[in-house]
Amino acid sequence: MSQTEYRPNQNNEVEVNEDMKKAFDKHGYIMVRNLLNSQELEKLKMSLDENETINENSEKVDDGEERFARLTIWSHPGDDVTGMISRSEKVAGTCEQLLEGEVYHYHSKLMMKVAKVGGRHAWHQDYGYWYRNTALFPDMMTVFIAVDRCHQGNGCLEILDGSHKCGRIEHNFVGQLVGADMDRVNMIEKRCPKKFVEMNPGDGLFFHCNLLHYSGPNLSEERRWAFLIAYNKASNDPVEEHHHPNYTPLHKVPNSAISNCEVLWDTKGKSILTKERRQQSKLAEINVKN
């Protein structure tokens, strides 16, 4: 992945230059190693560990093979540590430059794969689901931030390099999960090489909404937690209201706001997305996550 790897500069800034933009457009992703420095990462972990709101609102996602993951989703960034990360220049601002336009916070989630029993997730594109929410254009992306080390043994992401150029693929049931049509995925893999995305805590993967990705089960003794932030371009405001936000202006903050934030977690303003709220939506999203 060396052609797609970058690091913040000495001022803790992510510089989106022509080389990075070309890499994102060609491969469908870029990796920013140490996106969060040690102080920022520690704050993130403190905000998530033993968090009663996250635990109470987490949803169990079965993989059909007697394994499962848990996830908690919220609609708005808020003013706490996770909010400062998702509103920061080096995260949100980088997405704006990669997508070439204003973005807003579509949702955030904590994806939790516990040791030994953490389940897999089928091959899919995020836009395979978001398309159903009447976001008409694939002007969307996700930032996957490793809270724990992610490696092949505990179910790291796997991607098909450059597969975002194949366009949106039909999604249907793959066993008990909903994912991309596997006949098409197998064909695409012959042209777009599969890569394992191994990450250290604090690394961030920025990827296009049409990039095909998968993650295997967690067979290790280690948990695998990841903090994911989804963004949509302001110009791509979904036609109909649904369980994720329509365009809501994102008030970006300087990167220093992360380490300076004294509020570890504040549910106020986040609008936790419960399973019941998704089921009540007339445009319920297919329940498969990264």
CA atoms 78, 80, 86, 92: torsion sign: positive
CA atoms 239, 241, 244, 247: torsion sign: positive
Q: How many CB atoms lie within 10 A of CB 263?
A: 13
Q: What is the mean pLDDT of residues 17-37?
A: 98
N-term to C-term CA, the chain = 20
Q: What is the mean pLDDT of residues 16-20?
A: 97
Q: Which residues contact 39 (CB under 8 A, 6 or more apart)?
A: 259
Query: What pLDDT score does 176 carry?
Result: 57
3-state DSSP assignment of residue 146: strand
227 — pLDDT class (breaks 50, 70, 90): very high
Query: What pLDDT score does 64 carry?
Result: 74
Q: What is the mean pLDDT of residues 179-197?
A: 97
Q: Which residue has the tokens 């992510």?
A: 14
Domain boundaries, the chain: 2-280
What ranges in the chain are assigned the alpha helix state H? 18-27, 38-48, 52-57, 81-87, 94-99, 127-130, 182-189, 256-260, 275-280
Query: What pLDDT score does 41 carry?
Result: 99
200 — pLDDT class (breaks 50, 70, 90): very high
Query: What pLDDT score does 59 carry?
Result: 87
Mean pLDDT of the chain: 93
Which helix or strand (DSSP H or E) is residue 142 part of? strand 140-146
What ranges in 190-230 are assigned the alpha helix state H? none
3-state DSSP assignment of residue 273: strand
15 — pLDDT class (breaks 50, 70, 90): very high
Question: How much is the CA Rg of the chain, to the nearest whole Å?
Answer: 17
**CA-angle at 88, arms to 87 and 92, nearest 5°:** 70
Pairing label, strands 5-6, 171-174: unpaired
Q: How many CB atoms lie within 10 A of CB 126?
A: 24
Query: What pLDDT score does 178 carry?
Result: 78
Cα 71 to Cα 58: distance, rounded to the nearest angstrom: 5
CATH number given to 2-280: 2.60.120.620
Residues 118-169 pLDDT 10s: 888 889 999 999 999 999 999 999 999 999 999 999 999 999 999 999 999 9
- For the entire predicted model, the pTM comes to 0.94
Q: What is the mean pLDDT of residues 78-95?
A: 99
